[in-house]
Chains A and B, each alone.
Chain A
Amino acid sequence: MLKFEHVSKRYPDAGEALTDVSFHLQRGEIAFLTGRSGAGKSTLLKLIAMMEQCTRGTVTFDGQDISRISERKIPYVRRNLGLIFQDYKLLHDRTVFDNVALPLVVSGYHPQEVARRVRASLDKVGLLGKERKHPLALSGGEQQRVGIARAIVNKPKLILADEPTGNLDPELSAEVMYMFEQFKQVGVTVLIATHDLELVTHLGHRVLTLDKGHMIAS
């Protein structure tokens, strides 16, 4: 599903952020990506989200080489990705419904289909009934669940979560993790970047560890 082969990324002014990283995630697998800040976690996620291009090596997603992809094709590949951010990245001038609907609207779905899927998605994260609310009227945990609903509404093959529990208390974190377990059941691959080691060891999933740009455990 997701394959890194000898991937290196060098920034012109900050030096090498990733060095010779290789790993392979199977369909329906959950993995944690850990390491201290500055170890290259964000860079790795950016390479998968095609926000950056690697300097050497290949990144393959769903059978497609995305490390040398043309700018024109990027949007269509991104529609198979669900991104979850630590700071949620919600649009505050739009309702919960419109926020969750964005990936579908962008892909050109019919409004009826959009409404159906948004409801299903909000139902999965337990926010059905809050469609008309604005994100700022919700608690942090609820906002993060809106972000998750947006990430899964397009039925992505891979979910990338960057510190999804960073701003949440342990109870909410456990809830979020439980949701990820459920996505796994339907064949979605999940990659979670976190430095919440307690969470990682507690759940017993695969752990990829980065240190100064090198993958020291996978």
Chain B
Amino acid sequence: MRQMRRSQHSENRLLELFQAYLLNHAHGLFSSLGRLNRAPFTSSMTVLVLAIAIALASSFYIVVANIQQMTGNLESSNQMSLFLHDNITDAAGQKMAEQLQQNPSVAAVKFITKKQALEEFKANSGFSDALNALERNPLPSVIQVMPKNALENNEDIEKLMADFKQLPQVDFVQVDMQWVARLQTIMLIASRGVTLVSLLLGFAVTFITGNTIRLELQNRQDEVFISKLVGATHSFIQRPFLYTGFWLGFIAGFLGWLIVTIMLLILESPVEKLSTLYSSSFELLFLSFSEFILLLMISSLLAVLGSWAVLHYQLRQLKPH
């Protein structure tokens, strides 16, 4: 009976310790926020600098995401158009298309007669009245060739192109989507550039927070000294400072998001106007909810990391141990 009571007692003690631990964390979380609030000028300067760094990185990111959205719709393919000489009849063209189909490097062919080409052009270009005025069809017939997927290699494409050029019926050959491939390569470079710049800005966030925490630690040296002498562990002393770092990062992340969103809102209507001029259905991409959450998490994490690194080093420097 007594033993049972004793074990229950120690269980209660453990629960109390755990409760006290949680309360200490909660206290750290809120008191650090209160502390930031009590030095509004210093805090807001730091938070703004952090927010600008975060906004820069996210705006680069969203610009690239928007351009990628625009070019992503364009399918990258090596489709070739073989423009035939004017004197080739539809029947001869059709026959030639069937022959090309036999070529092992070719996946699919499509023959477009002069007449079909004209219809298509009339429908899409808006020049139908002008075209109607013409006496004869100026457009050549075309064979569209889709090479096999295996021909990713540029040299193979060039070789196939040269082969087609040799054909007597062919006037000239054009690889339709080469510019898309180029654009997509440029975008790849751009997005890699954004990653690098974001990394740099991430370092900036880490260092700025670290430095702010270092100053804060200096301001509160007495408190750290006394806490150490009454038996505080490093992790106990660290805790409120880490929460301060967390809040700096968190608030800066939110502000950074706000800045980017406001910039996008300012850009939205001119982009929309441009889009209608190109009769395109392009819509400006904003940061999604999950990207927003990710942004908050990354900025808080970087700030905590910066604070931790500084505290880890500085607390061991401060006498007494």
Contact = CB atoms under 8 A, between A and B. Distances in A.
Contacts of A52: 320
Contacts of A111: 20, 23
A50 interface: yes
Contacts of B227: 102, 106
25 contacts: A49-B320, A50-B321, A51-B229, A51-B319, A52-B320, A75-B228, A75-B232, A75-B236, A77-B231, A78-B229, A78-B230, A78-B231, A79-B231, A83-B229, A83-B230, A89-B222, A89-B229, A91-B222, A91-B226, A102-B227, A102-B230, A106-B230, A110-B19, A110-B20, A154-B230
Given A91-B226, A107-B231, 4 more contacts: A46-B320, A71-B321, A106-B231, A111-B20
Interface string B231-264: 1110010000000000000000000000000000
Contact of A106 (B16, B23, B232, B320): B232
A97 B23 CA distance: 17
B215 interface: no
A91 B232 CA distance: 15
Interface in B272-320: 316, 319-320
Most-contacted residue by chain A among B17, B223, B320, B321 (CB, 10 A): B321
A75 B320 contact: no
A91 B229 CA distance: 13
Nearest to A109: B20
B67 to A, nearest CB: 52
A62 to B, nearest CB: 14
B13 to A, nearest CB: 9
Contacts of A77: 231
A82 to B, nearest CB: 9
Nearest to A77: B231
Interface string A106-124: 1111110100000000000
Contacts of B172: none
A110 B229 contact: no
B interface, over-half SS: helix
A111 B22 CA distance: 11
Interface of B: 16-17, 19-21, 23-24, 222-223, 225-233, 236, 316, 319-321
Given A91-B226, A113-B16, A76 B231 contact: yes
A110 B17 contact: yes
B321 A89 contact: no
B319 to A, nearest CB: 7
Interface in A62-94: 71, 74-79, 81, 83, 89, 91
A154 B229 CA distance: 13
A174 interface: no
B24 A103 contact: no
Contacts of B320: 46, 49-52
Contacts of B230: 78-79, 83, 102-103, 106, 150, 154
A153 to B, nearest CB: 9
A105 interface: yes
A150 B230 CA distance: 9
Nearest to B27: A105
Given A102-B227, A108-B17, A108-B20, A75 B233 contact: yes
Contacts of B231: 75-79, 81, 103, 106-107, 154
A106 B19 contact: no
A103 to B, nearest CB: 4
A150 B226 CA distance: 11
A108 B226 CA distance: 16
Contacts of B226: 89, 91, 102
B156 to A, nearest CB: 66
Nearest to B320: A51
Contact of B321 (A74, A79, A106, A108): A74
Contacts of B24: 105, 108
Contacts of B23: 110-111
Contacts of B232: 75, 106
Interface in A134-156: 150, 154
A162 B228 CA distance: 17
Nearest to B35: A93
A180 B23 CA distance: 34
A111 B321 CA distance: 27
